[in-house]
Chain A
Amino acid sequence: MTIDAFIINFESAIEGIEQGSVKADTILRDLPQFDSLATLSIIAMIDANYQTTINADDLAACATIQDLFETVKKKKG
């Protein structure tokens, strides 16, 4: 799995995010679209695309997209 593909999947999962606007060092909580539905969408996207389950605590521990990517990669094994 690559960070670039992950970013594309991330952008598609959340409403209102423009393709190409998110970078690896983007801070999740700085995104105005990052509401509760976005949280659920990210979790669902990761389950669907990477067959990996993460929860709210896992997400809370991630500051940036890169952090999230690493978390998923680690959980996926």
Chain B
Amino acid sequence: MNNPFKLTDKTILVTGASSGIGREICVQISRMGGRVVATGRNEERLKETLSMLSGVGHEAVRADLIHPSEMDALIAQTLPLNGLVHSAGYFKLLPLKFVSEKELNSIFAVNYQAAILLTQRILFKRLLQPGASIIFIASIAAQIGSKANTMYAGTKGALTSSARVMAVELAPQKIRVNCISPGMVKTPIAEQTTDLVSKELVEKDELRYPLGYGESADVAYATVYLLSDASKWMTGANLTLDGGYTCQ
């Protein structure tokens, strides 16, 4: 009996796979029978991710997606894909008074441009199979006004807007495009924020989440659903996954 939630015989490229949410997404894909192509900037940590996967046939390809030559090298090695997950990105708080062109260009290059251009290149090379699923890991930051978050929220808002366009443009090829918007998830990025902002403030913030902060696995499970045939009618959607934060 075919379980529509499984990822058997599907090959999925995951960016940002060296750590955090991206890594956990690779793990859960492998547990559901999918074949993972993991990419990230850190060779060591990519290897670690690989070692955590179930089953065989997975690959790790090191690439810094802001460099066109590295992106091209990654794509040259990529086989036909049934899924593409954009989990690469970084977070930086800067009060508006301190936002600069340099900082904006940098965060947009990674969080937005690299994701769009990678998708474009993969499409151009016709590497996406019919019925493929593209997922952008966005953030609730795109929907709420939280201090010092001008840049990051901008990048995530840009992703969710573009994803809706892609959903419509690629529907004729039966390629689906969706976003997941997590709230605060316990990952290295979140730890970095704690260092910056103080433990007390973070603890206070977590109390504002009805179900507390999330875990990478929570985002990974939603990703698995969107990659699977179970979500074949879902496109142009943005799944809010935030322990109830934005529903208050």
Partner of B95, one of A41, A55, A57: A41
Nearest A residue to B198, CB-CB: A56
Give the total number of A-B pairs whose CB atoms are below 8 A apart: 40
B195 interfacial by beta-carbon distance below 8 Å: yes
Q: Report whether over half of chain A's contact residues are helix, strand or loop; otherwise say mixed.
A: helix
A44 & B95 in contact (Cβ 8 Å cutoff): yes
Known contacts A55-B196, A56-B196; is A40 also within 8 Å of B148 by CB?
Answer: yes
Nearest B residue to A37, CB-CB: B147
Partner of B93, one of A40, A45, A48: A40
What residues of B have a CB within 8 angstroms of the CB of A44 in the complex? 94-95, 97-98
A57 & B195 in contact (Cβ 8 Å cutoff): yes
Bound: A59/B202 CA distance, A? 16
User: Looking at chain A, what size class is its interface with the partner chain?
Assistant: 10 to 19
Nearest B residue to A44, CB-CB: B98
Nearest A residue to B205, CB-CB: A36
Bound: A29/B127 CA distance, A? 57
Bound: A36/B97 CA distance, A? 15
A13 interfacial by beta-carbon distance below 8 Å: yes
A40 & B195 in contact (Cβ 8 Å cutoff): no
What residues of A have a CB within 8 angstroms of the CB of B199 in the complex? 56
What residues of B have a CB within 8 angstroms of the CB of A13 in the complex? 97
What residues of B have a CB within 8 angstroms of the CB of A47 in the complex? 98
B95 & A40 in contact (Cβ 8 Å cutoff): yes
Binary interface encoding of chain A residues 9-48 relative to chain B, with 1 for a CB under 8 A from any of its CBs, else 0: 0000100000000000000000000001101110111011
Closest 3 CB pairs of A and B: A44-B98, A56-B198, A41-B95
What are 18 A-to-B residue pairs whose CB atoms are below 8 Å?
A: A36-B197, A37-B95, A37-B147, A37-B148, A39-B197, A39-B198, A40-B93, A40-B94, A40-B95, A40-B148, A41-B98, A44-B94, A48-B98, A48-B100, A56-B194, A56-B195, A56-B196, A56-B198
Besides A39-B198, A43-B196, 6 new A-B residue pairs in contact (Cβ under 8 A), listed by A number: A36-B201, A37-B95, A40-B95, A44-B97, A47-B98, A56-B198
Q: Which residues on A are within 8 Å of B, measured CB to CB?
A: 13, 36-37, 39-41, 43-45, 47-48, 55-57, 60
